[in-house]
Structure 1
């Protein structure tokens, strides 16, 4: 039997009404057999996140402070869901035991993982499905990747293809056997791992938006939803700051060529966005760009030195100076007598003068300058390399908007063009590019 793995984010499991929507979605397609859930999300903007409250309880307990107030909020959220769904649940009793764990001392990872754990227990009871504790199957290395054996052990747990399984997201166990979490938002990773382990034909990621948008709606307003995007494109957009999909969650399904579909729990009939190994021919011929994303602020250090190209190891020594200060770089454009490194501004906090002094002393540049308050934008699209005039259209749009381009860089894959502008031009640049490539809706 073909199976689909579905992951529901925090907004999709925020309360009993959302649980009911999840159940309807799962039951609408009998192939939806593996369900992964996050911790319950906010019901309104002013409400604290469950995971933040769990971290707070852990920290307060470590300082010997009474955790009654934040723990009471956590407890009431889960109890309200269980009561509204009329579940004869073990979760209230488990919460009492967990409070003792907090007060007697438990790890931050263990504390944070309980939001997903209790949510998955409730969802399994509600769907009459088998609960799967990822700590029994997913082994996480110190760098956040999982050991290969994870897929085999989890596949064995999912062996009954007629059964529904509900697994908690966000955590597994470390190689020391203790509960270990992924980075925040890591339930997307858990879902991708479950999809690959189950040999799923599709990984559905259900959230509160109807897919991936072509640009930040806080800047553009009502950007178009992307119908289909490749793994490479979404990776580029995610890397450049777009909140499209947890970038680490791409790898497990990409390696297994399992497509992803981003769907809206509150609008389940919307088509959503498909993330695929290869774009269809129709998408390639009909779409100039996939989307626009960006980040800020950045700082650019620029060096000029005559005959730099003849000086063996010049670039190596420049990057070595950054390494000494544990500074990574985003881009490194160069010419015959000049080279620049573009760095996230926060990485230079308190280090700027020391870094510049080392560059002067070790590399003796003819000219050294530093430019602050830059923003980087990425225009991403698989078809750009085969489409005449994309760069011209892009730079014409910026020129018409009166925006000066400080940096131009194209990735080796030729699926993106990265430009740098002054930070104060960032939003105007995104709007100008979007308007150039996406016709206004009548």
Structure 2
């Protein structure tokens, strides 16, 4: 059994719908389908979800949303016409128009893109349609309820052999529509895969999986054929953006592999994401490199050194108490280093300083801004004792200052801090050294 999620670019027009249908029919195991709303058809086009958000904003501001809504309707009518479907969409349009006029929430408006696309795709495939609002459940605070959803969804799926479940949204206990963050159809697909106890979760998009580096930085980087969920999450935390970060948790929890595939190049095997690296055919110590700007380095040092770890423990507890998230770096008995996103730092710095004062331990605090965090990911990197030396030496040869370097103890990643204006050059140098 395969759960196949198709992104907005995969369902942007009738031609893309036809590609999706060919993919689904090519494997009888693809019985649970999760669609996104139509994406861009060309560079300057607008996504349907963006148009729906505009409808909500225009209605709220007292501006007629009809011109925008007509554009949305025409997108779906063009798809239906191109697929020669006789489905009457007008009742659905009328209902959505009425709800927007009555002041429907932004969540409701945005969700209708997936809802309408799901109805179209189910008709085109001759599959059943299951409204996500009935089986993807949010609590009274608008927070997704994974366990209740799993129970309800697992039971519901037993009633269908082939079904389309729209992504991105669900329902709350009071009957209102709730949505995930943008890109949330990835999450829906993983939730469905977990509830169905699927053998595989396929995520179809417009790229053939992960690359070992950002192609905007490194020329023609090699593809990643196999990566683990942990490695993928590390790369995403440092700027890699192929898959919605939150979508890995339901399938990783259930031990279900994920396959990133390209709708426009379906013969390409893409990237396989699994819980462990054991299944790799071409095991490599280096899985990928990614970078992200906008970090600050906090260095806290105790004025009166001693052999107690209470200072470092107090720093970590203080960061937790004030809500300051960080990429923790190695610390000594009397010194702690925290790598923090700069935007977040200056929202929490006053609270953090107040927490440090509570320690009643005189200390120095230094903050260095404009740092880029680069992460090298791969289970073999930490085991290679020369890794840190190689990174340091190659960057020194390029004249790039190394602000900080930390080889994680989890045998997974190595973080390097460099000046922001040197990030791209550093990534190219590191990629060239290891690949």
Check whether TM > 0.5.
yes
Moved more, 75-84 or 10-19: 75-84
TM-score if structure 2 supplies the norm length?
Answer: 0.93
Change in Cα spacing, 1:402 to 1:365, as seen in structure 2 (3 Å) is farther
Moved more, 324-333 or 196-205: 324-333
In the alignment, what sits opposite 1:6?
4
Residues 139, 174 of structure 1: 8 Å contact kept: yes
The Cα shift of 1:251 comes to: 1.1
Give the 3-state SS of the residue equivalent to 2:79 in structure 1. helix
In the alignment, what sits opposite 2:61?
63
Structure 1 CA distance, aligned partners of 2:383 and 2:274? 20
Runs (4+) off by over 6 Å? none
Determine whether 1:180 maps to 2:178. Answer: yes
In the alignment, what sits opposite 1:137?
135
Structure 2 CA distance, aligned partners of 1:421 and 1:22? 43
Change in Cα spacing, 1:366 to 1:182, as seen in structure 2 (3 Å) is closer
Match of 1:164 among 157, 162, 165: 162
Determine whether 1:405 maps to 2:402. Answer: yes
Q: How does 1:346-357 map to 2 (within 5 A)?
A: 346-349=343-346
Give the 3-state SS of the residue equivalent to 2:201 in structure 1. strand
Change in Cα spacing, 1:348 to 1:384, as seen in structure 2 (3 Å) is closer
Change in Cα spacing, 1:357 to 1:153, as seen in structure 2 (3 Å) is closer
Residues 308, 338 of structure 1: 8 Å contact kept: no
Residues 380, 412 of structure 2: 8 Å contact kept: yes
Determine whether 1:426 maps to 2:420. Answer: no
Structure 1 CA distance, aligned partners of 2:136 and 2:396? 51
Match of 2:378 among 375, 378, 381: 381
Count of residues in correspondence between the two structures: 434
Change in Cα spacing, 1:143 to 1:66, as seen in structure 2 (3 Å) is closer
Give the 3-state SS of the residue equivalent to 2:423 in structure 1. helix
Unaligned runs of 5+ in 1: none
Change in Cα spacing, 1:360 to 1:391, as seen in structure 2 (3 Å) is same
The Cα shift of 1:268 comes to: 0.3
The Cα shift of 1:145 comes to: 3.9
Structure 2 CA distance, aligned partners of 1:66 and 1:30? 46
Determine whether 1:117 maps to 2:108. Answer: no
Residue by residue over 1:201-232, the C-alpha shift from the partner in whole angstroms, topping out at 9 and shown as x without a partner, is 11111000011111111111321110011111
Moved more, 5-14 or 228-237: 228-237
Determine whether 1:73 maps to 2:54. Answer: no
TM-score if structure 1 supplies the norm length?
Answer: 0.91
In the alignment, what sits opposite 2:212?
214
Change in Cα spacing, 1:200 to 1:248, as seen in structure 2 (3 Å) is same
The Cα shift of 1:235 comes to: 1.6
The Cα shift of 1:315 comes to: 3.6
Determine whether 1:329 maps to 2:337. Answer: no
Structure 2 CA distance, aligned partners of 1:309 and 1:49? 59
Determine whether 1:199 maps to 2:197. Answer: yes
Structure 1 CA distance, aligned partners of 2:346 and 2:59? 33
Give the 3-state SS of the residue equivalent to 1:383 in structure 2. coil
In the alignment, what sits opposite 2:250?
252
Structure 1 CA distance, aligned partners of 2:394 and 2:334? 30
The Cα shift of 1:144 comes to: 4.4
Change in Cα spacing, 1:390 to 1:315, as seen in structure 2 (3 Å) is closer
The Cα shift of 1:306 comes to: 3.5
Determine whether 1:151 maps to 2:150. Answer: yes
The Cα shift of 1:411 comes to: 2.7
Unaligned runs of 5+ in 2: none
- What is the RMSD of the two structures over their aligned residues, measured on CA atoms? 2.3
Structure 2 CA distance, aligned partners of 1:279 and 1:324? 36
Residues 380, 417 of structure 1: 8 Å contact kept: yes
Residue by residue over 1:318-363, the C-alpha shift from the partner in whole angstroms, topping out at 9 and shown as x without a partner, is 4565556543223244223322222211123466578658757865
Structure 1 CA distance, aligned partners of 2:144 and 2:404? 34
Structure 2 CA distance, aligned partners of 1:157 and 1:321? 46
Moved more, 175-184 or 222-231: 175-184
Determine whether 1:100 maps to 2:78. Answer: no
